[in-house]
């Protein structure tokens, strides 16, 4: 009788060992050896990534301060907007509910331009702003993203796209009910910063319902 109890106890010990191995295998990469400790190689989380390739900017003249603007209407009633646009800039209706303006018909890529996009109803401004930043973070063509500054409804960022360093100033504007109505982005080169910093608030502060 005692032999049977000894045999049963031994079987339970073996079963418990097997169960412990199975749990360890499911919860980690493999069973752990609880014997002598072994050194673990350190991993440096700040190991530098390969720097993005940056080509020289176009010699196209930098955006000047004090450019004159006029009002243009985008969208359709009852959500049509009037937006201040620099004189002589050329409009491109590139996508549904999004409009772009370039400095001239013979503009060069990777210089500067304006983007305006309407937003679906009743979205909180912080949510839309986070989505806009996330879109940059997730864009395959965007490298070396740096959010230089951020407010409750705007941000300024630099990044490399198409091998050119870009400066992006963006703001989300409210509808009469306080939810997000439209986002506006002015994108250019580092050499355009002074002109952009002067022009961007004049555009965003001048937007109104048509």
Cα dihedral 131, 133, 134, 135 in deg (nearest 10): 90
Please write the tens of the pLDDT for every residue from 53-80: 999 999 999 999 999 999 999 988 878 9
CA 19 to chain centre: 46
Percentage of the chain exceeding pLDDT 70: 77
Average pLDDT on 71-94 reads: 92
What mean pLDDT is predicted for residues 79-86?
A: 94
Q: Is residue 99 packed enough to be buried (19+ CB in 10 Å), middle (13-18) or exposed (0-12)? A: buried
Q: What is the dihedral of CA 158, 162, 164, 166, to 10 degrees?
A: -30
Is 197 buried (19+), middle (13-18) or exposed (0-12) by CB count in 10 A?
Answer: middle
Ranking 29-33, 46-50, 163-167, 171-175 by mean pLDDT, the lowest is: 29-33
């Amino acid at each position: 009788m005692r032999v049977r109890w000894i045999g049963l106890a031994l079987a339970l010990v073996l079963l418990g060992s097997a169960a412990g191995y199975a749990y360890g295998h499911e919860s980690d990469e493999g069973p752990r050896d609880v014997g002598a400790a072994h050194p673990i190689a350190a991993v440096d989380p700040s190991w530098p990534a390969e720097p993005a390739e940056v080509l020289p900017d176009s010699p196209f003249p930098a955006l000047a301060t004090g450019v004159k603007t006029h009002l243009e209407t985008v969208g359709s009633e009852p959500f049509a907007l009037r937006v201040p646009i620099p004189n002589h800039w050329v409009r491109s209706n590139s996508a549904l509910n999004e409009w772009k303006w370039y400095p001239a018909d013979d503009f060069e890529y990777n210089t500067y331009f304006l983007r305006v996009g309407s937003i679906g109803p009743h979205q909180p401004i912080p949510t839309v702003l986070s989505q806009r930043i996330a879109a940059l973070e997730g864009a395959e063509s965007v490298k070396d993203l740096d959010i230089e500054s951020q407010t409750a409804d705007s941000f300024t960022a630099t990044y490399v796209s198409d091998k050119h360093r870009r400066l992006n100033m963006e703001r989300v504007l409210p509808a009469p009910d306080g939810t997000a109505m439209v986002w506006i982005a002015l994108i250019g080169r580092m050499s355009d910063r002074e002109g952009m910093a002067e022009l961007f608030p004049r555009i965003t502060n001048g937007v109104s319902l048509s």
